[in-house]
Each structure stands twice: as structure tokens, then as C-alpha cells.
Amino acid sequence: PPEVAFAGRSNVGKSSLINTLTRRKKLVRVSGTPGRTQHINFFSINQDAIRLVDLPGYGYAKVPKAIRAAWRPMVEAYLSGRDTLAAVVVILDIRREPTGEDLMLLDWLRSLQITVLAAVTKADKLSNNQQASRLAKLRPTLAPFDPTPTLFSASTGQGREELWARVCEAAGV
Ligand code: GDP
């Protein structure tokens, strides 16, 4: 089945986004083992029509060096020659500028010609006006990777339908 992966800084809200996105959908974890070190989890959705891939978070200062160093080779091993991979959802916090690591990931995905779906989450932390002005500021930065980023909130469900539609479209399902 086609795969859509999810990536973002640790604590950006990736788990919450995946949970919100897949609520009321039949979801089965097909592999990935919980453990002390970071790992990649695979979730099968709707009788394996699509697989969602939860990539480890990056860039968290409190994460031990050895684990931080393991991120790139682990993700590289996953990405390389992955012809089932339809897109990567890159998750950003609406209140924060994209970090150097966010931009490196975006550049990396683009150089691999992997479709990027940008999701700007925790939108509920800002008023509607503030959301609009933050998005206007983020747009030029994100435009080379995704001209139509999705505003998202795990708390209110904002952007859930839109992001799911984009995931399905990218996966061709
Ligand atoms: P992860 O480390 O990227 O998987 O992040 P989590 O999903 O665990 O979320 C990190 C923290 O942000 C938690 O305290 C969440 O409750 C909070 N959070 C995540 N998404 C949202 C959101 O859309 N709105 C708000 N207000 N809080 C959120």
C-alpha cells in the first residue's frame, strides 16, 4: 500500500495530529516496537488502503546526543529507494518560526523529489486573525515546498478533513 509519513520536531504535536487525523478510522499498528530509543511506527488504515508512518521527532535539546545522532541514518534508511512513499507531512508549530532542522528536512525531501504536505498545527493557540497573519508570514518560506499548507488543530479538529483529503490525494486513494 502507499505510505504517507509524518515528521516534525519533538513536541510539535505529531502524535496528537496523527490521532486526530485517524479518529474513527480503522487503524492497526503493523510494525514498530516501543523502546527506549527512537523508532519508526507503521499504521495500517482502512484495510491497508494506506499506511501512515510515524517518523521519530527531531531537534529536542533534552534528547541524548546518541539518539539525536541516530535520527538521520534511521530516516535516511527509511526514505532511500522507498517507492511506496507518496508524501511526507511536515508538521510545524504555528507559534514558531521553522527551525534550521525543519528547513533542512524540507530541503532534503525536495532534493529527493518527495511530495511535502505542510501542516501548521496548534492553530487553536491563536485567534483567527493571528492565525491568518502567521500563515501569511509562513507562506513564502513554505511555498517552495508546499504552496498550500494546512492549518491544523488537534484540540478543535480544525484542518482535519482538509489534511486527510490531501493525504489521500497524494497517496492516490
Ligand atoms: P509530539 O512529540 O510531536 O508527538 O507531540 P504531542 O502530540 O505529544 O504534543 C505535545 C504537546 O502539545 C502535548 O502537551 C499536546 O497536548 C500539545 N498539543 C499537541 N497538539 C496540539 C494542538 O493542536 N493544540 C494544542 N493546544 N495543544 C496541542
As for the ipTM of the complex, it is 0.99
Structural domain containing residue 66: 3-171
The count of domains in the chain is 1
Q: Which residues lie below 8 Å from residue 152, measured CB to CB, with a gap of 6+?
A: 17, 20, 91, 119, 120, 121, 123, 158, 159, 160, 163
Q: What is the mean pLDDT of the chain?
A: 92
Which residues sit with their C-beta closer than 6 Å to ligand 1? 8, 10-16, 57, 121-122, 124-125, 153-155
E strand or H helix at 9: none
Q: How much is the pTM?
A: 0.95
DSSP 157: -
Predicted local confidence at residue 73, as pLDDT: 92
Predicted local confidence at residue 29, as pLDDT: 79
- Sign of the CA dihedral running 27, 30, 34, 40: negative
Predicted local confidence at residue 32, as pLDDT: 58
Predicted local confidence at residue 126, as pLDDT: 98
SS3 70: helix
Predicted local confidence at residue 12, as pLDDT: 96
∠ CA 44-49-53, nearest 5°, is 40
The closest alpha carbon to 153, from 131, 129, 123, 120, belongs to 123
Predicted local confidence at residue 163, as pLDDT: 98
Among the atoms of ligand 1, which is closest to the Cα of residue 12?
A: 3
Predicted local confidence at residue 108, as pLDDT: 95
Which residues of the chain, if any, have pLDDT below 70?
Answer: 31-37
Report the CATH number at residue 72: 3.40.50.300
Predicted local confidence at residue 74, as pLDDT: 92
81 CA from centroid of ligand 1 (Å): 31
Report the alpha-carbon distance of residue 121 to residue 159 in Å, rounded.
9
Among the atoms of ligand 1, which is closest to the Cα of residue 16?
A: 7
The closest alpha carbon to 28, from 6, 44, 51, belongs to 44
